[in-house]
Chain A
Amino acid sequence: MWQGVARGIVSGASIVIVLAWVCADALAQTGQLLSFSQSDIRRIRSLGPWPPNLPPDPSNRVSGKPAAIELGERLFFSAALSGNGSMHCASCHVPARTWTDGRARGSGLSELDRNTPTLENLRLQRWYGWDGANDTLWAQSIRPLLDQREMHSSVAAVARTVRQDAQLASMYAKTFGRLPGAGDERVLVNVGKALAAFQETIVSARSPFDAFRDALVAGDLVSAARYPEAAQRGLTLFIGRGNCIACHAGPAFSNGEFHEIGIGYFITGSGVDSGRHGGIARLRSTRLNLLGPYNDDRSRKAAIGTRHLREQQRNFGEFRTPGLRNVVLTAPYMHNGSLATLCDVVNHYSELNEERLHADGERILKPLRLIADEKNDLVAFLESLTGVGRGAAPAERPAACGATVR
């Protein structure tokens, strides 16, 4: 222990850190709290705080407004918005399933090529969709209305529905200050903005990890020690040797940008999913982007990313880094739903086939060659990102990850 004190002083660290260090060492002997270095603590700190403080979206003048949130919720569950009156947003983004559908790939009026993502914590993203084809939540919310494989409606039909449904029209007037006008596109965009206002309120609950993070940062080591040891070991891998935090960064566990991690991108029957490459092209071609006429922020400050986008060869097959909060509740995984469980995901990173990575892509990932215990630790950590009050993990809770395949 005296050795610990001396070490602390010589390194010039503050008293708090010295105590934290000493106590962490001491508690580690009782087998409850592993020792985390100062740089570990800095990294762990960067994964919070939670819930985050979210300002309204400047591109959407009704963001955060109660009337808009109410209208958005109503629209979200309204089948009248779909072409044949059979589907609403919640048909695929099922609230009780953490706003996903539990399927590998979405299925609307016909089959989709991509997995249905959760709608939690979207305000923290910069790009929307697996390929980031939209730069606002409101534009992204319009896409499924018009996509013929999803709700298959049209600009005119959506506007007509809002005008003709007395209740929708009056909620619209309360939100936007006037009844839906004659311009169909304007009405459609406002529907998107109300849908966005509602979805922005969907935020994951605090998790055991958040309690641990706050305790560690505050130097409350007794509380920190309540975090399961397996999760602590998994966290150590996540921020250390596994380097997961390089991409799964920040409070939502996503850097909001695009990477290729060796998930195939062939689509049955119809060629390839070009990922970010096609996403950039679609983003640039729509007048619903932040450079277009519907951005409510005159300063155009939020458009800085859209204005400076750089198209690159490596964008082909890149997808947006998903957030990891409540991840155990949103199986199956990846843009094409090709991995069924978190064990499958961890196995993927462990046994990664480097030849499958783009030849001219990034050099970040290396096969981690984890042993079975390490895989279970990493899964225990990912499970600890589950919001408290979300009940136990789902029925198909992954079994132990088993023996390492050699």
Chain B
Amino acid sequence: MMLCSIPSIRNGLLLAALALAAVAQTADRPARPSSPYSCEMVGGERLSGTQVDVMYRVVPGPITIGKHFAVAMLVCPHAGVTSPASVTVDATMPEHRHGMNYKPSVKFEYGGGQGFRYRAEGMMFHMAGSWELKIEVRAGGKIDRLTRRIVVE
């Protein structure tokens, strides 16, 4: 009888947790600056800087330890910011004090109403654990350093 009530308790808790998470998310996210670009990427994740927003996606995802992957990016300058001058991508394991054994190459693909498409090839996470992906965009005479923690198992 006690046991039967547990799933409902669980459901209640779950809903509460989801609601809390939603609140936390909206609170965390800075108001999105207006941008002339639609900046949409299917399955992409958004990183917001002072000059640009970057949508990125790992290809093929999810990351496998010791296998090369690419990062597809859509760089979207904020209103009034010129087009990006350069984009670099790198990653480190801060707790292990090392980076990747490979130096990715970044290629500009094309620009349009969505934003500016770039692709980084030659990435590899060679150990399990917590990595920090770094995307640096030089635009409008300034550099946006965008980072994201990625844990691979």
Cβ contact of A247, chosen from B99, B101, B127, B153, cutoff 8 A? B127
**Total residues of chain B contacting the partner, CB 8 A:** 27
User: Complex Cα distance A310/B105, Å?
Assistant: 11
Residues of B within 8 Å of A12, CB to CB, are 10, 14
Find out whether the CB atom of A304 lies under 8 angstroms from the CB atom of B121: yes
Residues of B within 8 Å of A304, CB to CB, are 68, 121-122
Q: Tell me if A258 is interfacial: C-beta within 8 Å of chain B.
A: yes
Considering the complex, give the chain A residue whose CB is closest to the CB of B95. Answer: A363
Q: Tell me if A1 is interfacial: C-beta within 8 Å of chain B.
A: no
Residues of B within 8 Å of A312, CB to CB, are 99, 101
B130 to chain A, nearest CB (A): 12
Interface string of B75-111 (1 = CB under 8 A from A): 0000000000000000000011111111111000000
Residues of A within 8 Å of B66, CB to CB, are 126, 249-250, 255-257
Count chain A CB atoms within 10 A of each CB in B7, B99, B127 and give the residue with the most: B127
Cβ contact of A10, chosen from B10, B104, B122, cutoff 8 A? B10
User: Complex Cα distance A256/B129, Å?
Assistant: 16
Measured as residues with beta carbon below 8 angstroms from the partner, the interface class of chain A is: 20 to 34
Per the 8 Å Cβ criterion, residues 267-314 of A in contact with B are 304-305, 307-310, 312, 314
Interface string of B1-34 (1 = CB under 8 A from A): 0010011001000100000000000000000000
A4 to chain B, nearest CB (A): 12
User: Complex Cα distance A312/B126, Å?
Assistant: 15
Q: Tell me if A178 is interfacial: C-beta within 8 Å of chain B.
A: no
Considering the complex, give the chain B residue whose CB is closest to the CB of A318. Answer: B101
Binding site for B on A (CB under 8 A): 2, 5-6, 9-10, 12, 39, 42-43, 46, 126, 245-247, 249-250, 255-258, 304-305, 307-310, 312, 314, 361-364
Q: A10-B10, A257-B101, A305-B68 are in contact. List 19 more A-B contacts (CB 8 A).
A: A2-B3, A6-B3, A9-B7, A9-B10, A46-B153, A246-B127, A249-B65, A249-B127, A255-B127, A304-B122, A307-B122, A308-B103, A308-B104, A308-B122, A310-B100, A310-B102, A310-B103, A312-B101, A314-B98
The 6 closest A-B CB pairs, nearest first, are: A308-B122, A310-B103, A308-B102, A257-B126, A362-B98, A363-B97
